[in-house]
A = this chain, B = another copy of it.
Amino acid sequence: MKYAIYILIFLMISVGYSQDFKQDSIQIKQFYNTSLLNGKSYQWLTYLTQKIGGRLSGSQNAQKAVKWGKKELEKLGLNKVWLQPVMVPHWERGEKEEAFIITRKGRVSVPVCALGGSVATKKGGVTAQVIEVHSVKEVEDLGEKVRGKIVFYNRPMQADLIQTGAAYGAAVGQRYNGARVAGKYGAVGAIVRSMNLRLDDFPHTGVMSYGDLPDAQKIPTAAISTIASNKLSALLKTNPNTRFYFKQHCKIFPDAPSFNVIGELTGSTFPDEYIVVGGHLDSWDLAEGAQDDGAGIVQSMEVLRLFKTVGYRPKRSIRLVLFMNEENGSRGGKEYARVAEEKKENHIVALESDAGGFTPRGFGFNCSDANYAQVLKWKPLFAPYLIHVFARGGGGSDVGHLNTKENVILGLQPDSQRYFDYHHTAIDKLDIVNKRELELGAATMAAMLYLFDKYGIK
């Protein structure tokens, strides 16, 4: 008899489970079909990139993007849409930079761009001998030997790492800290090999920091293309006295007022449990911010549109956040988290898309074992869509600030191979985004948040 009860319970659970599975499968299929057949993400991205374009924090374009975001969110039929004020850094590149290598035979022109946050060179530019290094540590060891020189950080991203994000993480310290450390020892400039796995002539900008350096030690810093980096390195081998020249006109302005753009679909059953989905609205200034992070913005918007379109009414409150200033300060992400804490809002889940609108492969989860075990159970629901990466660790620089021990922070993991071909360059434009890849990502995000909304967290 006891046995019979166990079997009955088992059957009830199984049937319940399989009915849930069936229902979830149907719901998820609807998200994918709607995104692929009648999606809006690509249309939004077209507007954002073609009508607004690059939108660095503090710029007029960033303000335009805020207005556009608010207007579009208002059209979605959400319960609330608002702007959350946040002060952001305001740095401008100014006139196009120039650079060349000075060899015995003449000048070799170099594709260059100032790093975000860098000071300008003096009016006539900087000319100096070059000292090639492969890490910040090496400069610390060289110390005073870099005085009067231009330090050339030339450690390449590691091509044998399968996930390009890992290769980026292992190389980007040069860009972020390079000028600070070189400046401390009296270098007159710092140039960095672009954070790029391929050889091309599109230099990559990106944020840098002087830390606590006094103004007098702040030296101008720029990225040069990977092809130019190889050229310079080869020339230095034949002539260690090879000199380099660069000129840039960047300006740092006082912090500027800006906003996170927020929309909410209020939960029907647990309105006080919040699920966030978002990307960052700001972008670097060199191009249109299509992959970084226009893609994440429009995918996040599409998640809520999909919920509305298929008539799914969430149990929990879903917050769509278009974060401001991820690129050079993360002020938006920090402010959103600060306000959430101040208001004691219970954020149970936060999902970010900031790795490009490429074919989605899965997610990285920053969560407890119990929550990870739960998401693993959902894996079969994603198999028809070739979503297979359910990794531990992940999230994103904006939603990361919401991390507690109890909640789930996750990041969409698209295929990473092409990301650094475009990231922070003059070619991060609409034409390098594939509509289907973008739409698949949006549907994948909707599917995952639907499951979190339905089942909650552990």
Please list the residues of chain A having a beta carbon within 8 angstroms of any beta carbon in chain B.
32-33, 36-37, 159-160, 162-164, 197-198, 359, 361, 384-386, 388-389, 415, 417-418, 421, 434-437, 440
Return the contact of A159 from the options B36, B159, B421, B437 (Cβ within 8 A). Answer: B36
A162 with B418: CB separation less than 8 A: no
B436 with A159: CB separation less than 8 A: yes
Tell me, rounded to whole Å, the shortest Cβ–Cβ distance linking A385 to chain B: 6
Q: Which residues of B contact A32 (CB under 8 A)?
A: 160, 162
Tell me, rounded to whole Å, the shortest Cβ–Cβ distance linking A394 to chain B: 15
A434 with B415: CB separation less than 8 A: no
On whether A386 and B389 interact (CB within 8 A), knowing A159-B37, A415-B415, A418-B437, the answer reads yes
Tell me, rounded to whole Å, the shortest Cβ–Cβ distance linking A412 to chain B: 15
A286 to B385, CA, bound (A): 33
Tell me, rounded to whole Å, the shortest Cβ–Cβ distance linking A382 to chain B: 11
Residue of A33, A417, A418 most packed against chain B (CB within 10 A)? A417
Residue of B nearest to A389 (CB): B386
Q: Which residues of B contact A388 (CB under 8 A)?
A: 386, 388
On whether A418 and B434 interact (CB within 8 A), knowing A162-B32, A162-B384, the answer reads yes
A163 to B440, CA, bound (A): 11
Q: Which residues of B contact A164 (CB under 8 A)?
A: 436
A417 to B435, CA, bound (A): 9
Tell me, rounded to whole Å, the shortest Cβ–Cβ distance linking A342 to chain B: 41
Q: Which residues of B contact A359 (CB under 8 A)?
A: 359, 415, 417
Tell me, rounded to whole Å, the shortest Cβ–Cβ distance linking A43 to chain B: 12
Tell me, rounded to whole Å, the shortest Cβ–Cβ distance linking A361 to chain B: 7
User: 10 tightest A-B contacts by CB?
Assistant: A388-B388, A33-B160, A36-B159, A417-B436, A36-B160, A417-B437, A359-B415, A359-B417, A418-B434, A37-B160
Chain A to chain B contacts (Cβ below 8 Å), 27 pairs: A32-B160, A32-B162, A33-B160, A36-B159, A36-B160, A37-B159, A37-B160, A159-B436, A162-B384, A162-B385, A162-B386, A162-B440, A163-B386, A164-B436, A198-B435, A198-B436, A359-B359, A359-B417, A361-B386, A386-B388, A415-B415, A417-B436, A417-B437, A417-B440, A418-B434, A418-B437, A421-B434
Tell me, rounded to whole Å, the shortest Cβ–Cβ distance linking A224 to chain B: 20
Q: Which residues of B contact A421 (CB under 8 A)?
A: 434
Q: Which residues of B contact A389 (CB under 8 A)?
A: 386
Residue of B nearest to A385 (CB): B162
Q: Which residues of B contact A159 (CB under 8 A)?
A: 36-37, 436
Tell me, rounded to whole Å, the shortest Cβ–Cβ distance linking A386 to chain B: 6
Q: Which residues of B contact A435 (CB under 8 A)?
A: 198
A159 to B198, CA, bound (A): 32
A160 to B417, CA, bound (A): 24
Return the contact of A434 from the options B160, B384, B417 (Cβ within 8 A). Answer: B417
Residue of A37, A162, A198, A440 most packed against chain B (CB within 10 A)? A162
Tell me, rounded to whole Å, the shortest Cβ–Cβ distance linking A417 to chain B: 5
A32 to B197, CA, bound (A): 16
A385 to B416, CA, bound (A): 12
Q: Which residues of B contact A361 (CB under 8 A)?
A: 386
A32 to B435, CA, bound (A): 30
Q: Which residues of B contact A163 (CB under 8 A)?
A: 386
16 additional contacts (CB under 8 A) given A159-B436, A162-B384, A386-B389: A32-B162, A36-B159, A36-B160, A37-B159, A163-B386, A164-B436, A198-B436, A359-B415, A386-B388, A415-B415, A417-B436, A417-B437, A417-B440, A418-B434, A418-B436, A418-B437
